Structure 1
Amino acid sequence: MAPQRRAGAGAEAELPEYAGHYRLESLLGSGGMGVVHLARSTSGLKLAVKVVHAEFARDREFRGRFRQEVAAARRVSGAFTAPVVDADPEAERPWMATLFIPGPTLAEQVKRNGPMTPAQLRRLMTGLAEALRDIHRVGVVHRDLKPSNVLLAEDGPKVIDFGISRPTDSELRTETGKLIGTPPFMAPEQFRRPREVGPAADIFALGSVVVHAATGRGPFDSDSPYVVAYQVVHDEPDLTGIPEELATLVLRCLAKEPEGRPTPDELMRELRSAAASYDTQAFIPAQRTGAEAASAPPRQPRRPPRERLARSALLAGAALVLVASGAASVQLADSEGDSPAKAPVRTPSATFGGWEAKPVSGNGGVPHCSYGADELLCAQRDVVFALDPDDGGLAWRRTTSDRAVSRPPVVSGGVVPSSMAEDGSVEGLDHASGTPVWRRDVPEGGSVRGAGDMLLLTGADGTVTGVDGSSGATKWNRSLPGHSGTPLVSFAADPLAYATSTSSDGTHTRITAVDPGTGALRWDVRLEGALQPIGVGGGSVFLLSGDPRDGTTTGLLRYSPRSEASLRVPLPVPRHDVRATVRGNVVHLLAQGGALEAVDLKTRKRVWHLETGISHGSAPVSDGRHVYVTAPDGRLLAVDARTGRLLGQTAPRLGAAADRVVASLPEPVVAGGRVYASAPDGTVFAVDGREPAGW
């Protein structure tokens, strides 16, 4: 490929053919400091690569700023930004590669199609508030939020270009006498005291961006940047054309003093309460044409919004939960007592219409559920309950003395063991009635895990006790050499359980396979690297391989005990906070920031990759046809397991505390062609897994 050329006075004669090992395919755009190219990684991943102009590459101060841009972009890389894939600030021509996100900028969208509708404005404002919340959480202030730095992607707005952003702990400061930013979107303090700019400046910019999206102009408008600067500091904003329901909130964002502006969390709460028909579905730019439309991934038709009857019923204080046509209606008792509730009569239907239920009132967190003994068994806060999988009817509910739980109940020997209590004991409940069957002590500092019909109690000293799930009786007791207190893990349809211990320097991991029924050791191996088991298949164990220095997952490993052979497959891009599952030879991974991908260890290649926009999702679950993931806002997503295409998603179920981060998000449960999931508002719901497009 010949180097790309650019015409025009003062332009560089030739643009580079490569940035690092990324081949630059075409020009996406050019700015004052650099040029952005479309490129591809070795595996074919589309990237946007920013290459600094040669004249600035020779400037020490600019190189320092570019290093800061890369550092800031890495810190905020997630669901609401373009994740950083690679960078080299020390190259002859410094460059940074991020994921390519198809879609126009907000500036292009407004210029092409005019002002946004009120519904689009609300989604834009909410998406930007979420983005700023994540950016500020990691200690970064953007300082240049403007329409050209907002990409309108399929799943919502993305904030890009951290060229003048600053980490709050950075020692690099704005040079005296220089104003850095874009005047129509700068806060008053950026003109008055630029060294003291904080997160509130980004909120001011958000207000200005919303005004531009609603009107095509800014709240302070003039051809002269000096006049604009005066207006920003001294004049009231012009909010003509702003929808009435948003005007007050936008005005608060544009307060002259930083302390008068709302935080991102306050913005999201205000936006939820501003309209009962608040819609969190992804923003989809209208009237995209030409190359943009051709390059965009295929869109799925969206169903009309669900009836708002459930919201009205809850606001009226009724206990009846209503869902979409064809679903069951579930009557729940107002009391939080332990008496069983009679299951309702299921509504006849040619197909499974789904259901939803909320067995624990109030803000009790996310229910964690498992499937067993023909029941859906859930734990939420200090309550354990069983639901009929056909219609969501409450079979029984028991309030325990246990601490708040973050794991689903274990179905073991016909009994549902609840979580460990404050006194260090574990209680076994009858799965049919919820009544206690047995109770026994757990070693101090120990853990409880289920494996088939057995419970495995691991003490802090590494001693493991095998307990019969139906009676609570001890079947065996032994220590595991090389392991000290690590909970054993097991997987469905696997007769073994596994203890893993990684060396302090992360150079190797010891893995011991145990028979849960007898305590016999089946095999023991020491493998290179920091490893974590994620599943089994074809007589092999699949593991994540990571870098202990930064906690990233860098690859996958398949170990076959019979042949003692290991196969390692590196990931194209290292991932943070990975949750994974195994189906056959394919591993599905969901990483922090929403990257969902499938890697086939038989072909040693990545099959597909999808940016879901989920900041911290559940572990993915696959039934062979689809891959299911739960999002922090309560949505259940379904992706084609063969192509990685998004097929459908449910409505969000945020609840009253939507500004809180869910510590542990349970994975969906797949059984009998249905998918069962739970949400932060305390809802447990079921959908037909065969028809995700109809959710």
Structure 2
Amino acid sequence: MALRDNDPREIGGYALLDRLGAGGMGTVFLAQIDSGRPVALKVVHEQFAADAEFRTRFRQEVRAARRVSGAFTAPVVDADPDAARPWMATTYVPGRTLRSRVESEGPLSGAELRLLAVGLVEALRDMHQVRVIHRDLKPDNVLLTEDGPRVIDFGISRAADHQTLTVTGRILGTPPFMSPEQLSAPHRVTPASDVFSLGAVLVYATTGRGPFDAGSPFMTAYNVVHEPPEVAELSSTVREIIQWCLAKEPGERPDPAGLLDAFRKAPVADWGRRPAVPSAADPETRHARRLRPTRRVILASAVALAVLAGAGSYFTFRDPGRGGAGIDPVAANRPGLTDATAVSASEVYRPVLGGNPNGSSSYGDGPWRQPSTWLPWVSGGGIGPCVYEVRSLLCTSASGDGVRQRVVRLDGGSGTEVWSVPTDVVGDQPPAVVGDTMVVTVADGLRGFDAMTGTVKWSLPVGEAVRGLTADSRRVYGATKSGTVVAADVARGRLAWQQPVVTEGGVLPTIRVAHGQLHVLRSLGKGRSAGYRVTALDTVSGVTEAETPLSAQCSGRDLTVLETDTDTEWEAYAERLTYFCHLPERDGEPRSLLVQDFRSTTGTVLRNVTTAPVTATAQGLFATPSVTSAGGTVLRALALDGRRLWETPTGIQCGANAVAPVVTGQRLYLLCEDQAVVVDLRSHKVVSRPGVPYASMTPPAYNSYIVAGGLFFVPTEQRWGSYDAYPRVT
């Protein structure tokens, strides 16, 4: 579209060439700088420019959006939130929107649809990794390009949606693609809202219609909140996965990591439209009945109309369509593991030290990781620390004399070796996995292997071993004994940056990933007089962003970074991070714990809590005190301020050498030698008590057990075993 007479010809040094489109928040122009590089430049509307709160939020969001640089998004290259009319420029990607493609050529299917789904999930993963929620994912904001789909128009939308809009305001979003919580409580939207929108977009891409389309915006909004999605025209496995995305409750939806794994494994033949499944009523009659409002629907719609009108709502949507009825949500494929949402964890899966960037005591996971042909097994010898991915254990060799140095992949269903590759791996260091790349510590740096085949992809020498690996969706991070934090770009096998940090007493820096930052625990001093400090580094540049002196001494490599207060707005998350660690043991006395907020000068010391390790989650602290009752060792749940929330007898006996429980989703898994229990964290009751005979051997110090898909994966000094956490009752 040509520029209009009242359009500016230059903004921020960019010459405007053409209009690309306009929306509720602003106008998008094709622009270029003197070098000729094209960009898509969005200028916000004047009513937003006059709002000081908008500018503050826009500034915060631009800073976060700059970090989004995945292959399936259009990265921010420049912005000026302080201009007379704030603007933001992103990389210009030629292509047409998903809506244009569907309207001109019809729905997608096969490999084309699968590529779209995988690309969109990867884009959401990249955005959520750096704390950006899109909030308006729809066919108009998806570009189809020669090298895959791109998500556009993030950043401004987040800022605009968070101001108080009383006269000209808008609730951001397009009803057929909005989540229920966006309509009912937009200030409490979380990343799960984008997952819901993704499911709706994929239904549209497959059928040409949204799953909640109706004859008016208010009926559409009512369907989003109250009615099941119309997905019967989707095929087989893909239908079940998308049904999962469209769960009404945010906590019941999959996270991008699990969703990506599920989409990649869905057969190509399952991607596409199939004839609608007829119900007892004729489809036309059933569709008409759905669109004919009952008294209950009319009343609910009237309430919605009053709420939306009071907010000054503005909607953009297309003609409705129709489809078939929904199906039951995804469930696990084995008896005893029927509640997928209870097992699924909401955190992004990042395999390190047992699965979670906060250490070995937690493993974010869900039923989709379970091998379909699993039977109890014990591996061969010489196997050291492992992580779980691609339905396999990816491991380095055990340490010790006579152990052959290698990396190995064990089939998760049988324990057999899929491949084994000799390499000078540092045997006591677990690997990390980013995408399809397994990264291990070697004597002079890092080495990347193809997780599926074992082929060496790259080697990155840095002069010494990089230990304590953790990762996000693009980089792997570690620390050297000399006190240098290293960040490596996994896709290219190159050094992204390295940053020296001061640490004393021979203590290796401990690093954790949270909120787009590396949190580095380092020691200042020696022995009992040592002080500890957590330095927050930007994951993209390595620049120091914050320093938090801890008010008590942490024990060794022990640090958990908790993201608390999950019902609040995301832009304030940086101030709601909490650090947790155990304090050093004193002559066998019960443990004390430190809980301290990010950037706080003082923390809370919880004294004499337990002799066993404690698992810290945003749900609370979970401990097994050394005291037992007639019902066995007592599991105790504490709030982060030390208040006792609840406790329950486990029926098993745990000694002082018990390892920390594993918490994933709404289930807690506790293993004590050859006894184990599974506790439902909602009912506080034991729901399974499996036997784990191989676990009677002492586990190694480098790793806790892993729980994946309702299975125990248990390490000893030289091998691993796998056991059912939900055994069949015969």
**Shorter-normalised TM range:** 0.3 to 0.5
- So what's the TM-score if we normalise by structure 1? 0.41
| Structure with greater Cα Rg | 1
- So what's the TM-score if we normalise by structure 2? 0.39
